A and B are shown apart, each in its own frame.
Chain A
Amino acid sequence: MSLNADRLIALLMLAFSVGYGYLAWTHPLLPFEARQPFKPNTLPMGLAVLAAVLSLATLVYESSDDLPEDATGWRSFEWRTAAVLVVLMVAYALLLRPAGYILATTGFLVAGGYLLGERKYAVLATVAIITSVLTWFIVQRGLGIYLVPLPAFLGGA
């Protein structure tokens, strides 16, 4: 029996259930809540026990050494490209407000397209700019949801 993703997740779930169960058990109850048949931690405690039992049962009965369909051929996967895309997503989340919606979105779409092999820069930039301006217009003007369009130094605050 080796430690593959299947068993690792079952163990992670077991740890998660124990942690969740501890938080549920120690959840502070108000005096009137403690006397009620249904407390804020009644269901969570039951869920923690159920999840712990199911994690163990999965580990024993359902984990296997066979790779699931999604993981087949994982050694030849493009890990680096996927990791860079995740970094781009995090950067987009962090820059959305300070850089403004239009700049952050254009930057994300251009960088994402470049990462995946697009080298027609003019087309990529045009598509990105049109998409960001159009979606900003729909969301901000059409739906009335406020999105900072540009960074503060360009008057977007």
Chain B
Amino acid sequence: MLEGLMLGLGAAISPFNILMVFLGCFLGTFIGMLPGLGPMSIIAIMIPVAIQLGDPASALILLAGVYYGAIFGGSTSSILINAPGVAGTVASSFDGYPMARAGQAGKALTIAALASFLGGTISALLLMIFAPLLSSVAKLFWSAEYFALMVLGLTAIAAFAGPGKKLKALLMSVVGIMLATVGESALHNAARFTMGIMDLQSGFYFVTLVMGLFALPEALFLILNPKRSAQQENQNEIKDLRISMDEAKNLAPVVGRQSVLGFLVGVLPGAGATMASFLGYAVERNLAPKDQREQFGKGAQRGLAAPETANNAACTGSFVPMLTLGIPGSGTTAILLGALVALSVTPGPRLIEDQPEVFWAVIISMYLGNVVLLILNLPLIPYIAKLLTVPRQYLIPFVVFFSLIGAYIGQNNPTELLIMIGTGLFATLLRFGGYPLPPLIIGFILGGMLEDNLGRAMRKAGGMEFLWERPMTLGILVVAAVLFFYPIIKDRLQSRRA
């Protein structure tokens, strides 16, 4: 392994490559802050530039910088303006945005940057040690297990539900899955529930829904409730980046656990950063001491550190199936796989033996992206956080404009804007009724994958028998049930004792 590591280092480190990683991180962070432009689209845009470089190591280093930069940029817009542009950073907004609203934007961004960095570091170490072994475990997962994994992801709704909101949260996640069934599915060609609207043929566009559910209602509430705007303007500590020793001690176990969990979820093809971030959030909420658990959704530091660590660790984990099996586990790794092939590198079981320098260069370059991102972004955080001091007469129209244009450029279709405005009004009404919105978007994101895997599993088994006939499926479903019912039973027992 050490020999391979040195080979990778030799291929990856040179002044030119260091310049490439800085450039990639810088571009990725700023473009990633625009809602609607996630790592996938930014990497796709940068591929022609990377291929022009000729050298696979330089190209990969540039793309790695863009990748990590885009993820951090996405977290920034989630935390500062509640506009998560990509699914992987939705969970970061649940506690990151309340922290920013409470005047702790600088601290929230620092926690996000450090948690991402540590998640990336620990998972890179795990990748080096376990990559060959894990690829054989990932092969054991079939549609039935993926379906069970989606159900496990959906039990995360238990984590988002405050007291007296469990049924509402469940209802919202079911509505989210319903929205995901609109249009064509991977298993059936005929579109469903489009009501004759051609623009719904391929379903709802993720960015349109997420902007409509989160960014627009927030902008509307800032206008509707003048007190809310006043809170926004009275922020003196937004540039304060310091994390105290006690806070660091409180977050350390979260980062440790979520690095391992996120990495393992990332290894499974199809699960990826989104699932890892939701699962991480749910697990940490259940494990948190009671006083901290009640803070989840209101600005809990653990609630921000968990998804940030897990999604970065999962990004590293998703390289295991890509490099060792040639199977891209996510949209982003699929595009990176395309870039590797264009650079005459063929990922697969023989890569580590045939081209060890490339295998290790990919790992080293991913890690280099992580390190440079931290060096580059920590000093920039005070300036990025100052975004919140922009007067409301500029901030609100700009947030609305960036949300609208994020939805528009993804599809180049003005109907998306009308769908987004409709979703925004509906989401505002839901907030008036105290219905939690995160479960709705989780249901929507996981809904498509859930239906595809359920369909495949049922076709293979000829019915629902796979639920109890496959031990691993049954095991995951039991874990899901425990994760869902444990907090309910615990709360009941505690209230009885009291």
Of A40, A62, A143, which contacts B45 at CB under 8 A?
Answer: A143
Contact-residue size bin, chain A (C-beta under 8 Å from the other chain): 35 or more
Of B188, B401, B433, which contacts A33 at CB under 8 A?
Answer: B188
Contacts of B401 in A (CB 8 A): 105, 108-109, 112, 131
Contact-residue size bin, chain B (C-beta under 8 Å from the other chain): 35 or more
* Contacts A47-B177, A86-B421 given; does A38 touch B459 at CB 8 Å: yes
Q: Is the interface of B mostly helix, strand, loop or mixed?
A: helix
* Contacts A112-B397, A116-B393 given; does A70 touch B434 at CB 8 Å: yes
A79 to B224 Cα, complex, angstroms: 6
State whether A5 touches B429 (Cβ < 8 A): yes
Interface status of A155 (Cβ within 8 A of chain B):
no
A133 to B417 Cα, complex, angstroms: 20
A105 to B221 Cα, complex, angstroms: 22
**Chain A 13-54 residues near chain B, CB threshold 8 A:** 13, 16, 20, 23-24, 27-28, 30, 33, 36-38, 40-44, 47-48, 50-51, 54
A147 to B188 Cα, complex, angstroms: 33
**How many A-B residue pairs lie within 8 Å, measured between CB atoms?**
175
Of A71, A73, A92, which contacts B404 at CB under 8 A?
Answer: A92
State whether B417 touches A131 (Cβ < 8 A): no
* Contacts A112-B397, A147-B409 given; does A58 touch B168 at CB 8 Å: yes
Q: Is the interface of A mostly helix, strand, loop or mixed?
A: helix
State whether A127 touches B394 (Cβ < 8 A): yes
Contacts of A33 in B (CB 8 A): 188
A144 to B165 Cα, complex, angstroms: 45
State whether A82 touches B220 (Cβ < 8 A): yes
Interface status of B175 (Cβ within 8 A of chain A):
yes
Of A40, A118, A139, which contacts B393 at CB under 8 A?
Answer: A118
Pull 21 A–B residue pairs with CB atoms less than 8 Å apart, ordered by A: A4-B433, A6-B434, A8-B433, A9-B430, A10-B433, A13-B175, A24-B192, A24-B193, A43-B177, A58-B167, A62-B167, A73-B227, A81-B224, A85-B223, A112-B393, A112-B396, A113-B393, A118-B394, A131-B401, A135-B405, A144-B45
Query: Measuring CB to CB, which residues of chain B are less than 8 angstroms from any residue of chain A?
Result: 31, 37, 45, 164-168, 170-171, 174-175, 177-178, 181, 185, 187-188, 190, 192-193, 219-221, 223-227, 391-394, 396-398, 400-401, 404-405, 408-409, 412, 414, 417-418, 421, 425, 429-435, 450-451, 454-455, 458-459, 461-463
